[in-house]
Structure 1
Amino acid sequence: MGPSAKGEPVIVQDETKVDVGIHLQQGSLTLTQNGKDFDAYHASVEFVAVHDGPWTADKVKFSAMGPDGKSVGVTVDLLNDTYDGPRAAVPVAIWKVVALAATSAGDVGITYTTPDPHPM
């Protein structure tokens, strides 16, 4: 007998955190940390909503292949220390990863726009 299931899955809209994972084409994104290059192959973007505020991307956790051929994790924090805007100097390529994940996040009710790097 094959698998079976009952019920109708419902997405909880009052969640305060959602992770969206995406696979990256090998060689399409190289992360550099402490002078070493890492070939990213998967990204998990963490979206958060605080106090009924809009959804925003908080961090990206990358799975990558290191120069020694071993898998490593690289985390990039996206929000500044006061959580009121983007962290300075986040590379454009990482924001593109966030935008790709946000496309998938739309399927679960997350509306997201890239933050203004120069808030008033």
Structure 2
Amino acid sequence: MPPGPVLLTLSLWAQGHITALFKATTTQEFDDAFDAFLAHRVDTIVVNGEKLTRDQYKSRLQAARSLEQSAEVKYLGTVEVQDARRAGEVGTFLTAEIFEKVFIFGAPASETVTISFNLK
């Protein structure tokens, strides 16, 4: 008998989808990862106090990763709150080392970013 469905915690779900955004290497992979991460009906996304639409947020992410070749993501902490009436909430704190298509002295240029996500 095959095993039953695997149920992910909200923390693992969030980490998997965030990592997929960073590790996407083609436009199609990024679009698929973005659509799997954010529902089409999302009204507002807040980034550093600025309210963005889903499309504005996607454009901003795409622009930020224009030179990206690959990335390594490390989660430094994640908190999850389950709520029987709603899906719950997740807060996660991570660093991503982003390796660019540009080479300096034979090695890809890189940038490390620190990000926190709060998902409801």
* TM-score normalized by the length of structure 1: 0.33
**Greater helix content:** 2
* TM-score normalized by the length of structure 2: 0.33
**Greater strand content:** 2
